[in-house]
Structure 1
Amino acid sequence: MSTETLELGTKTTQALPITLTEKAASEVRRIAAEQASEKPLYLRIRVVGGGCSGFQHKLDLDETINEKLDDTFELHGVNIVIDKRSMLYLDGVTVDFHDDLNKRGFSVTNPSAKTTCGCGSSFSM
């Protein structure tokens, strides 16, 4: 858990709910630049139902935010948006990016997950 201060609208908390590694932030910035959108792009992190264990993490680039349902913040130059329902499942999550011989892509490590499926794409709480 990061010890940086997080500004959520008008409410200030003492710790960020997630960690975004510099490698992941760099890759998000690269992908966002390729999109060439006229509007700012946000990294939307959410938890959805699905997979063999019940829940899945989803990462998307999104142009829109809902001020009533979403919290926004910035890490390493990346604007992040998380809906309030997903925030309940994401405390302490680390988003990383791997570019190795055996693995390329984003990974989400959730310390609150009780079990994961065999392929690692879904989890239970």
Structure 2
Amino acid sequence: MLPNFTVTPAAAKFLRRIVRFSGLPSGAGVRLCVSSGGCSGYDAELSAAADVQSGDEATEINGLRLFLPAESRLLLDGVTIDFVDTPERCGLAFNKGDQGLGVAASAREDAGESSVSRIDASAIGRGRHPREAS
């Protein structure tokens, strides 16, 4: 069962760019793994993926394909995923009601898996490829 969660337009734009710059074919999406742990109580990893993996469920939000493992589906219920860009931090933020979960998502690079290992956030929304950003 898919969770009831929200992805803000800014977060969707960020995630679409990860897929776009991954070099994966059309129809690819983002695999979002949220788990208990870390200093804030939650950890999150994301990677561009060509298709859903065994045990994942796929959902589409405004043209963005998200692949969610079972634990992620449980933890994302009632959460709003946003993209923040402040002097203190840049990346995805996961909020439940008025309470921030303190999760900053990181892109993952696994051997043999096509994923995004680094995104230069300064290029997002400015029409430049990350490699062209200074």
**TM-score where L is the length of structure 2:** 0.60
Match of 1:104 in 2: 90
Structure with the higher strand share, 1 or 2:
1
Match of 1:75 in 2: 61
Match of 1:31 in 2: 18
Distance 1:54 1:98, change over 3 A: closer
Match of 1:46 in 2: 33
Q: Distance in 1 between matches of 2:9 and 2:27?
A: 20
Q: % of aligned pairs identical?
A: 29
Which segments of structure 1 move beyond 4 Å, counting only runs of 4 or more?
Answer: none
Does 2:42 correspond to 1:55? yes
Considering only aligned residues, what root-mean-square deviation do their CA atoms show, in Å?
A: 2.9
Q: Alignment partner of 1:109: what SS?
A: strand
1:85-110 CA distances to partner (integer Å, 9 max, x unpaired)?
Answer: 32122101111112344432111113
**TM-score where L is the length of structure 1:** 0.64
Structure with the higher helix share, 1 or 2:
2
Q: Please, which runs of 5 or more residues in structure 2 have no aligned partner? A: 105-134
Please say which of residues 47-56 and 71-80 is displaced more in the overlay: 47-56
